[in-house]
Amino acid sequence: MQKKVSIFLVPLLLLCAPCLFADGGLISLRQGVRMFKPNQRAMIAWNGSEEILLLSTDMRASEAAQVLEVVPLPTEPKVKKGDVETFRRAATLINRKIRKPRTSRAGGGHGGGGAARPAGEVTFHKKIGAHDISVAHVLSTDGFIAWVEEYLGSLHVQNPVIPPQMKSIIGEYLSEKSTWFVFDVISLDEVLSTGEAVQYRFKTKYLYYPMKVTQTVEGSTTVDLLILTPKLLSNFSGIPSHEVELRHEPVPITSEELRGLNPDMDALLGHRGDMKLRIWRLWGEISSFKQDLIAQ
């Protein structure tokens, strides 16, 4: 079930069209719990004005606890349940189409030499489901805090505490006119779990993947992104292109093949028969990601 809540805390004149700066941050509902996101996977289709982001993440906590996941997005999203098996099917399709995968740094399409190994490998863990997803429109850091406190209060969480780092990051998003946030309460424990895939569809002038909000999580992470766009991208205004590894040469994908993976993405891209599918990878200490992935 999805709920939408709008919070208007500043004059209407400040409601300008959001620009692009906007996986998710975690807030533990119990103090002293450490949270980790070692693996993130997403499939992104962008047609130049609208994006579909299919997202699933592996997560664990230092002890059993409920956590609030926060995903910032540049404009109002439509949210629906996705299928984690899409990632496995897409990786299988890519591996079937290439013979000698090559790796390079850059999001464009030029590969360097490398060992012949699968371009994509998907491993799932104990699966956990999305719960009562809410979409909130907030226009100030105080408004964000008030909404989260009220939301957690409705879940009977006593004295909820929002980490100062989360407050600071939310302030950055709001200063960049990214005012839409998706919330979901998830139960974690010490065992690594794979989150149920969730699909977001939203308008944007750039291909977008949120990264800096994950600074609220500890440890390192590996992010595999399956990318579909009408043309290869070369302009990276967030995370620089040299930090994005191209796992293999882009492979052609037909409308029929894409429809078998995700019919919504096939429709978004106009049932084109000349699309290129490729895997980008980001990795490193989560604290090092100070920007989101923004490409055009």
**pLDDT tens for the 296 residues of the chain, in order:** 444 433 322 222 222 222 222 257 888 877 888 989 899 999 999 999 999 999 998 999 999 988 888 899 999 999 888 998 999 999 999 999 986 544 445 454 444 444 445 554 543 334 445 556 888 888 888 888 888 888 788 778 777 778 888 889 999 999 888 889 988 888 899 999 888 899 999 999 999 999 999 887 889 999 999 999 989 999 999 999 999 999 999 999 999 999 999 999 999 999 998 899 999 999 999 989 999 999 99
Yes or no: say if 230 and 272 are a contact pair by the CB < 8 Å rule: yes
At residue 254, the 3 state secondary structure works out as coil
Q: Which residues contact 89 (CB under 8 A, 6 or more apart)?
A: 260, 261
Q: Which residues contact 155 (CB under 8 A, 6 or more apart)?
A: 29, 66, 185
- Strand-by-strand arrangement of the 180-188 sheet: 2-6, 133-137, 180-188, 65-73, 25-28
Q: How many Å apart are CA 215 and CA 218, to the nearest integer?
A: 7
Q: How many Å apart are CA 218 and CA 265, to the nearest integer?
A: 32
Q: How many Å apart are CA 233 and CA 103, to the nearest integer?
A: 17
Identify which of 279, 277, 226, 225 has the alpha carbon closest to the alpha carbon of residue 252: 277
Helix segments in the chain, DSSP class H: 85-97, 141-154, 164-175, 255-261, 263-268
Distances from the Cα of 35 to the Cα of 1, 128, 254, angstroms: 25, 15, 40
Counting the structural domains of the chain, the total is 1
Identify which of 76, 36, 78 has the alpha carbon closest to the alpha carbon of residue 222: 36
Please give the model's pTM, rounded to 2 decimal places: 0.81
Q: How many Å apart are CA 177 and CA 266, to the nearest integer?
A: 30
What's the DSSP call for residue 63? S
Structure token digits, residue 14:
């400040």
Q: How many Å apart are CA 30 and CA 160, to the nearest integer?
A: 8
Torsion, CA 169, CA 164, CA 134, CA 58, rounded to 10: 80
Query: What secondary structure, in 3-state letters, does 3-48 show?
Result: EEEECCCCCHHHCCCCCCCCCCEEEECCCCCCEEEEEEEEEEEECC
Q: Which residue segment(s) compose the domain that 46 sits in? A: 2-295
Q: Is 75 exposed, middle or buried (0-12, 13-18, 19+ CB in 10 A)?
A: buried
